[in-house]
Amino acid sequence: MIRVWLGDITRLTVDAIVNAANETLLGGGGVDGAIHHAAGPALLEECRRIGGCPTGEARITGGYGLPARHVIHTVGPVWRGGDQGEDELLASAYRNSLMLAREHGVASIAFPAISTGIYGFPPDRAARIAVETIRVHGESLQVTLVAFDHAAARYLEEALG
């Protein structure tokens, strides 16, 4: 089951929210900054102990001050024109997040539009990859795709068909 929701991912009461992190896992701007701000400094402490995450992979932590029990940190690709393996890396970020969720007994999970902010991935193309990957690897999970603005919501609705 996949739904689209417009708003701030840090407010969602789900088992896990996904963070569009960078390889250092030490926090950043955009949704990463919002998640760390809402979770509090203990999240950064746990991330520090993990010691980073390569692009396309995912790592799980507690949710601390968030309503969500877990944060799944994944690193999407920086858009470099589309011929540097960006599509596969983005799919891999979604796939590895879903696998990790399952391993940890997560039933409900929310994703931001990974890579479509600072990392510059075209949002319509990213929405199609998100939906395709979740349809294949998200079976039996309740998935919320979070749009932070109306344009993002429209791309996600279009991708869902």
42-50, 65-73, 94-102, 110-118 -> range binding ligand ADP (CB under 6 A): 110-118
Phi, psi of 63 (to 5 degrees): -100, -15
Q: Which residues contact 50 (CB under 8 A, 6 or more apart)?
A: 25, 59, 61, 73
Q: What residues act catalytically?
A: 32
Binding ligand ADP by CB under 6 A: which of 18, 66, 114, 127? Answer: 114
Helices (H), 40-122: 41-50, 86-103
Instruction: Return the residues of window 46-75 that contact ligand ADP according to CB under 6 A.
Output: none
Binding ligand ADP by CB under 6 A: which of 115, 129, 144, 155? Answer: 115
Binding ligand ADP by CB under 6 A: which of 55, 112, 127, 133? Answer: 112
- Minimum CB separation from ligand ADP for residue 56, in Å? 12
Longest dimension (CA), the chain: 41
Specify the residue, 55 or 61, whose C-beta has the smaller distance to ligand ADP. Answer: 55
Q: Which residues contact 69 (CB under 8 A, 6 or more apart)?
A: 15, 16, 62, 63, 106
DSSP assignment of 24-53, as one string? T-S--SHHHHHHHHHH-HHHHHHHHHHT--
Binding ligand ADP by CB under 6 A: which of 4, 14, 25, 31? Answer: 31
Instruction: Determine if 86 is a binding residue for ligand ADP (CB under 6 A).
Output: no
Give the number of other CB atoms < 10 A from CB of residue 2: 17
Instruction: Determine if 90 is a binding residue for ligand ADP (CB under 6 A).
Output: no
Residues near ligand ADP (CB under 6 A) are 8-10, 20, 30-32, 34, 76, 112-119, 146, 148, 152
